[in-house]
Amino acid sequence: MVTAQRINPSILSADFVNLQAELERIATADLVHVDVMDNHFVPNLTMGPPVVERIQAVSPIPLDVHLMIADADRWAPGYAELGAYSVTFHAEAAEDPVRLARRLREIGARAGIALKPGTDPDPYLELLPEFDQLLVMTVEPGFGGQSFMADMMPKLSRIAEAKARLGLDIWLQVDGGITADTIGIAAEAGADTFVAGSAVYGGVPEDRIAQLREAAARHAH
C-alpha cells in the first residue's frame, strides 16, 4: 500500500551481490528507487534493462525507476515496457519531455520528470499536468552518500505552489541526502515522496523506514 508520505529506498546503497535479499529487507517501503546511470549523463555506471527486469521480477514493492541517462526519449520507454510502476527521466536529457511522458503513460507507467540542482523549474510549471511525479534533486546526481542541499527548498516550494494552484495530484519527490534530520525540511517545502539510501540501509531497514515516515508526517502539509 502506498502511503501519504512515500519512502522509496534507493538500492544504490544496497548490497548488489545479494539484491533479492536486500529488496526483501525494504518490503515495508512504498516503492524501490532504482537508479539507472549510463556514465554519459552522469559520471557513474550502475545497471541497465536486464538487471532492472530481474529486480521487477523479484521485488516485493513497485519500482520507481530514475533514469540518469542521455537520450531519454529513446531509452525511457523500454523501462516502462519492463513493467516499472514509475519511470522518471531528466528534463536535461529529453528532447521532448511532454511527448515522452505521454508515451510512458500510454505504456502504463507513471511518468516522472527530474530536475538537476542547477535547472530552473519555471519552464516546467505549466507543464505539470503532463507528469505524475516531479523529482527535485537535492544533490548533484551520480553518487550516493552526498549532503542534502537545503538551498533547493525554495525551488521545491515554487513547484508545490504551482501544484496547489493547478489542483494537481502530482507527486513531489526529493532525492539526495535525505535522513531523519533532513526529511522534515523537505516535507515542509512540499515534498511527499522521499528517496533515501544510506539512511535506510545504514541500519535495520524496517525501523529506518518507519522513522523516516514518521519524521515526514510530522512536517507534512
For the annotated catalytic residues, the residue numbers are: 35, 175
User: How far apart are alpha carbons 48 and 97 in whole angstroms?
Assistant: 21
In the chain the first and final C-alpha atoms are separated, in Å, by: 21
Please spell the DSSP secondary structure of 205-219, one letter per residue. HHHHHHHHHHHHHHH
Tracing cell 523501462 back to the chain, one arrives at: 79
Q: Where are the extended beta strands (E) located within the chain?
A: 6-9, 32-37, 63-68, 86-90, 110-115, 133-137, 171-175, 193-196
Q: Which amino acid is at 9?
A: P
